[in-house]
Structure 1
């Protein structure tokens, strides 16, 4: 974090060095008032956030600096494209791990295609190293629901990746995909550098998602399975106010000693 960011950090709330929040959760608020929304997140005690779509996110660097927030991880699609613009932007933002957030479900129905995705990530990783970056991949349900060669397609991907490529496991979508997120995290091991920590009944309807601690996912066990991973709070959507859900999630994780 730069000196300006350190000096501008709000005080009054305890800090949460293991927590982050995926900014997609508060996308409407960001569109209306990016600096103000980032400042509100910092006031919750957050020290870092996870941006999305960084190639088209105007004003993000200044907003992060003003709020005293770092962005160690960020989402930006880069597979199948020349990734250099994305990697350059990530470096400008101080990102260390840039994560491809989505690949079409049909690509995960064939083992050969999954291996091609692994090859693409490996190739991108070599380019990312020139920028001092690590690349990663973030799952949805389809990478887990698809079973190939006796394992989930996500595990097949992991088995074919070089060590330099990381995974960010969205534990909610793992559950939606029909797998036990705790057991899957244990099998994937140290390649998992970040978790999307979210809660709800484990349905495909994103409106069913709720603040962490108010749903049915075994949050404590999930975090215990990868205790060193960054814990990124996210709601894809919700029937309630999502900013309040972020605040409630942080309060819950803090009260349970998970922050």
Structure 2
């Protein structure tokens, strides 16, 4: 298997990126990173593309909501434009795969809800192809609350999704959802084309389960890769077609640029990325 390329989800440094886009990208490039994963890019594609070009970085993947009217984040919601607007902006930046990062928990609780998610993404895969793009889905932990005939809602979704729909597995959130993460990676096989390399102390309960306490990113205890509960090495070794190992912090433990560099060192020193 060809080793994945390292990347970083720009949501990890959302505040720094908003304050100084070029300086933030230059700092990431100085670590040796060649890729980033764009976030909240639709309103400013020309600005982001220019900054990426100036820093020598590319954004082969990007997060944008395709299946909801608002993009949820632990710290608030962002209104969403039409998919065609998203795809046009993505193509301008050079993004090749647009990944939906969050679908509300209640939509994962019934088989009809899961079928609807899959059918919508399947239709969007066709639309995206007209822009020279593909689409994907990124999980949190709500996809693992319900199960149908012993199969999690997430894996039922995978079975219903068009093979053109790519999967980006967030390893931290899959573990939070109670999954044997390396085994899940192995089952997803060649459908899994990206992972979020995220570590930390996994919450005691699924934040999206019924009756769970109110959740926000400030409640997370996330750590540098290799310093938390997530079996990152085993999960990465279980992959068969992962193209991008994307570093992410929902809440960086310290200076985010130093934290990204430390996780990149974990990936490099372990021989997990090219």
Provide the TM-score with structure 1 as the length reference.
0.90
Structure 1 gap ranges (5+):
1-15
1:77 and 2:73 aligned? no
* Bigger relative contact order, structure 1 or 2 (CA pairs below 8 A, ≥6 apart): 2
Structure 2 gap ranges (5+):
70-81, 208-215
Does the 8 A contact of 1:186 with 1:226 survive in 2?
A: yes
Q: Supply the distance in 2 between the matched residues of 1:239 and 1:118 (Cα, whole angstroms).
A: 35
Runs of at least 4 residues off by over 4 Å:
none
1:43 and 2:57 aligned? no
| Match of residue 23, structure 1, among 1, 5, 10 | 10
Does the 8 A contact of 1:212 with 1:249 survive in 2?
A: yes
Q: Within 5 A, what are the aligned runs for 1:1-259?
A: 18-57=5-44, 59-80=47-68, 82-203=82-203, 206=217, 207-229=220-242, 230-259=244-273
RMSD: 1.6
Do the aligned partners of residues 169 and 193 (structure 1) sit closer, same or farther apart at CA in structure 2, a change above 3 Å counting? Answer: same
SS of residue matched to 2:53: helix
Does the 8 A contact of 2:10 with 2:39 survive in 1?
A: yes
Q: Supply the distance in 2 between the matched residues of 1:152 and 1:188 (Cα, whole angstroms).
A: 13
1:227 to partner: Cα distance = 4.8
Higher helix share: 1
**Match of residue 79 from structure 2:** none
1:255 to partner: Cα distance = 1.7
**Offset from partner CA, 1:211-254 (integer Å, 9 cap, x none):** 10111211111111115411000000134222221111111222
Provide the TM-score with structure 2 as the length reference.
0.85
**Paired residue total:** 244
Higher strand share: 2
